[in-house]
Chains A and B, each alone.
Chain A
């Protein structure tokens, strides 16, 4: 028997999609039965009260949560987000219902042992409810009380060798795609770079000193499986120079129907015979492909690395050999100033593990120093960049101006030179000037 009547939530369950309401009810029922005999450290019926407060929010059309607070683990400025219910007498099980962010494994590779272990901690010390995963990629553990936080942290770090993720004005938990662990498109080892920078910048991750949040994301190739170009303040996208490698025999096998296009995806219905002209050549955004006389040719200088031809015929086409990363800055969601995609800051950089990625670290630290100096409170770096101009960001990063920085033909007819751009700078001899020009 449900603790609270929830007609509006019940109605949500009738839709065609898997329902979070059903999930919460399932956890409520499981905690009520407690077949494992767990000594719950927070109210066993907290999922029931969660449903109750949610129903009331739907009825009232306003939230009954209060966010924020000083709760956290000692010495960390992030990883825990305080949450309190503003009707604690009605819903005591969720009166204090703090969120814990836990770093996800790179590429979200889990072992069942890890998942079971984290749920053992969370059923005992929290609500048992999770969000896998938050927008930044973290494992989000939903709802616990302050006394449990240090216990959870100790068990996470000592038993699971894991750590809290970022929140607040921190470096947020960096995220990478599966990269070279699984994918042959990867142009650099995204997981390795992500892990290296996560370790290097532990202080920024746990002890915030930025004007606002800052996100790194690492995509191994332009397919962008973690959407670095759209979702991160500094996005690293694998890319390559030089021609895509074409195996003509395998192209013929695709054309002849021996190999399913798109690696067998979209196989739920009959799309007819594979048509290389229609499905590959005509869809090339820079028209650099030609298929004539049974041969696929490519004007590789025109290729924009959209990945469509490679994705469609992955066995026939392979990424070029000169590989590295493009770095984009300033993507963000529409909080203060509208959404933004990342702006191309570094067109191509080699990813060099041998020097511990020093050139990438130098770039990052130049950008951070500038943003920490110039950024206003609660201003994302993409907004600082817009306010002060892309050139200011490029200067801070130590990147020389490049035609590829130009997004569109100039619509501002003014050019402002800096003194160092002009021979002799601005200094002039006033006396000599006055000799030539009387007052």
Chain B
């Protein structure tokens, strides 16, 4: 099965929004579970597109990287940096 990019993007956004009450950041594995029949690299390409479209952002602790919806969770401005 080849991923339909637009449908996959919508599913990812919908998933993040459905969890927005409890979580603002997600591991990569959270998204691969949404598409169990797809290669992980194809899922990654969809996430990369969402980052390029500024709908999602990377969050990094330095050792681990997660994904989040743009604007969700703690932002740089809330650290007094704008």
Interface residues of A (CB under 8 A from B): 67-72, 75-78, 80-82, 84, 88, 95-96, 99, 145-146, 167-170, 203, 207-213, 369, 372-373, 376-378
Contacts and interface: CB of A to CB of B under 8 A. Distances in A.
B28 A95 contact: no
B65 A70 contact: no
B46 to A, nearest CB: 11
Contacts of B73: 70
Contacts of A78: 58, 60, 65
Contacts of B58: 70, 72, 76-78, 168, 208
B81 A95 contact: yes
Given A75-B51, A77-B65, A84-B79, A209 B60 contact: no
A92 B45 CA distance: 39
Contact of B79 (A69, A81, A99): A69
Contacts of B65: 77-78, 167-170, 208
B52 A75 contact: yes
Nearest to A211: B29
Interface of B: 27-29, 32, 39-41, 43-44, 47-48, 51-52, 57-65, 68, 73-76, 79-81
Nearest to B31: A209
A167 B47 CA distance: 18
A67 B65 CA distance: 12
A81 B61 CA distance: 7
B27 A69 contact: no
9 contacts: A69-B79, A75-B48, A78-B65, A84-B79, A95-B81, A168-B61, A169-B64, A211-B27, A211-B28
Contact of B74 (A69, A88, A212): A69
A379 B64 CA distance: 10
A378 B64 contact: yes
B57 A70 contact: yes
Taking chain A's interface residues, is the majority helix, strand, or loop, or is none over half, making it mixed? loop
Given A95-B81, A96-B81, A169-B28, A69 B59 contact: yes
Given A70-B76, A168-B62, A372-B40, A208 B28 contact: yes
Contact of A70 (B28, B32, B43, B75): B75
Nearest to B70: A70
A71 B76 contact: yes
A167 B63 CA distance: 6
B80 A167 contact: no
B60 A167 contact: yes
Contacts of A208: 28, 58, 65
A210 B29 CA distance: 8
A69 B60 contact: yes
Most buried by A among B39, B58, B60: B60
Given A77-B65, A372-B40, A377-B27, A168 B81 contact: no
B61 A67 contact: yes
A373 B74 contact: no
Contacts of A211: 27-29
A76 B32 CA distance: 20
Given A68-B59, A88-B80, A377-B27, 14 more contacts: A67-B61, A69-B59, A69-B74, A70-B59, A72-B60, A77-B58, A95-B79, A96-B81, A99-B62, A168-B58, A168-B63, A170-B65, A211-B27, A369-B39
A96 B82 CA distance: 11
Contact of A168 (B41, B48, B60): B60
Contacts of B76: 69-71, 96, 146
A431 to B, nearest CB: 36
Contact of B44 (A75, A95, A96, A209): A209
Contact of A209 (B41, B57, B68): B41
A145 to B, nearest CB: 7
Most buried by A among B27, B57, B59, B65: B65
Contacts of A377: 27, 29, 64
B80 A209 contact: no
Contacts of A207: 44, 48, 51
Contacts of B59: 68-70
Contacts of A145: 81
Nearest to A377: B27
